[in-house]
Amino acid sequence: MRGLALVLLIMSGCAFDVSYVTRVPTTFEPAAPNGPNWVLQQPQSIGVGSGFPTRLRQGTHWQRAGTIPQGDVFRTGDQIVTVEASNTFEAMVVLRDNTLVGFYLPVEHSFVAATEPVKLPIQQGAQP
Amino acid sequence: MTRSIRPFRGLAPLLFALLAALFLSGCATSGATYADLQAKLPPPPPGDGRIFIYRSTVAGAAVQPSVKLNDAVIGSAVPRGFFYLDRPAGDYTISTETEVKRSLSLTLAPGQVRYVRIGIAFGFFVGHVYPELVEDAEAQSDIAGCHLTGS
């Protein structure tokens, strides 16, 4: 009985936030409209260590929204992009030399690094 | 001869009736549906965007936590129900809480419409209710039969 009480006590104090991402505060500098853009040529799945990868769809158009110290920030209107753990964050992708290095969270003003940077198969300058 | 003792046998119909009543009482069975209202809704005021919040299933119907926008209560997660609100463009966090708190952060642009579905997952004592951002096309199909519960 004591053991059960102890388990219940521990569980009740557990936040159940078993999945989380490491967010690094960063500074976003918006870019002028009509900046560089590209189209993703193949679907991609990018992990952030939470167990819930972010999937990017083939054929989505991306436009540069700005920069952060970690790279260039791109957004798309063709799909919803989120970083998911116990909580969910709307996100934009961060590229350095056509390699996706992580995600920018505009609400949290934070950067989340990709578990493994991914060289994206992209077509530069494609018109949406 | 041994006789099996089943002390709860007579309670089964009662239990079933109670569960059915609980299940049905948890559903948003009144109010216009999204499909009825969609074309009649005025656009959000200039500078504002609109957020629809809905729960498309009746799973875990007894669990109906409050839904908060930036920590202020804006409604309840009623099964088969929806509500919406217009807010100035900006950054928002939508959260729900049962035995744990789950949140979704999103941006809202002027004139933009966002759809947030309230899902439910297994919990330790109570189901975990969580908000998720849904693509417009999927959401409009998902929400069509949901009933307005207030905004």
The per-residue DSSP string of B68-98 comes to: EETTEEEEE--TTEEEEEEEESEEEEEEEES
DSSP per position, B1-41: ------TTGGGHHHHHHHHHHHHHHTS--SS-BHHHHGGGS
Using 50 as the pLDDT threshold, list the residues of chain A that sit under it: 8-15
CA distance A61 to A36: 11
Q: Hey, are the CB atoms on A90 and B133 less than 8 Å from each other?
A: yes
Q: Hey, are the CB atoms on B132 and A87 less than 8 Å from each other?
A: no
Q: Hey, are the CB atoms on A88 and B133 less than 8 Å from each other?
A: yes
CA-based radius of gyration for chain B: 19
| Residue B48 contacts residue B86 (beta carbons within 8 Å) | yes
The residues pairing with A84 across neighbouring beta strands, listed in sequence order, are A88
| Residue A77 contacts residue A8 (beta carbons within 8 Å) | no
Identify the residue among B98, B100, B114, B117 best suited for mutation to test binding to A, counting A beta carbons within 10 A and taking the highest: B100
Tokens of A7: 């388990």
Residues of B in contact with A107 (CB under 8 A): 91-93, 105-107
The pLDDT value recorded for residue B28 is 54
Q: Hey, are the CB atoms on B103 and A17 less than 8 Å from each other?
A: no
CA distance A90 to B90: 13
Which residue, among B63, B33, B66, has the nearest Cα to B141 in the 3D structure? B33
Q: Hey, are the CB atoms on A88 and B130 less than 8 Å from each other?
A: yes
Using 70 as the pLDDT threshold, list the residues of chain B that sit under it: 1-29, 60, 122-126, 151
> Is A13 at the interface with chain B, CB within 8 A?
no
Of A16, A17, A79, the CB nearest to B135: A79
The pLDDT value recorded for residue A3 is 60
Residues of B in contact with A106 (CB under 8 A): 91, 107
The pLDDT value recorded for residue B97 is 87
Identify the residue among B93, B106, B108 best suited for mutation to test binding to A, counting A beta carbons within 10 A and taking the highest: B106
The pLDDT value recorded for residue B49 is 98
Q: Hey, are the CB atoms on A107 and B92 less than 8 Å from each other?
A: yes
Count how many Cα atoms sit within 13 Å of the Cα of residue B30 in the half-sphere of its side chain: 2
Handedness of CA B138, B142, B144, B149 (dihedral sign): negative
The pLDDT value recorded for residue B18 is 47
Burial of A109 (0-12, 13-18, 19+ CB in 10 A): middle
Residues of A in contact with B105 (CB under 8 A): 87-90, 105, 107-108
The pLDDT value recorded for residue A4 is 54
Q: Hey, are the CB atoms on A89 and B104 less than 8 Å from each other?
A: yes
Of A17, A79, A90, the CB nearest to B105: A90
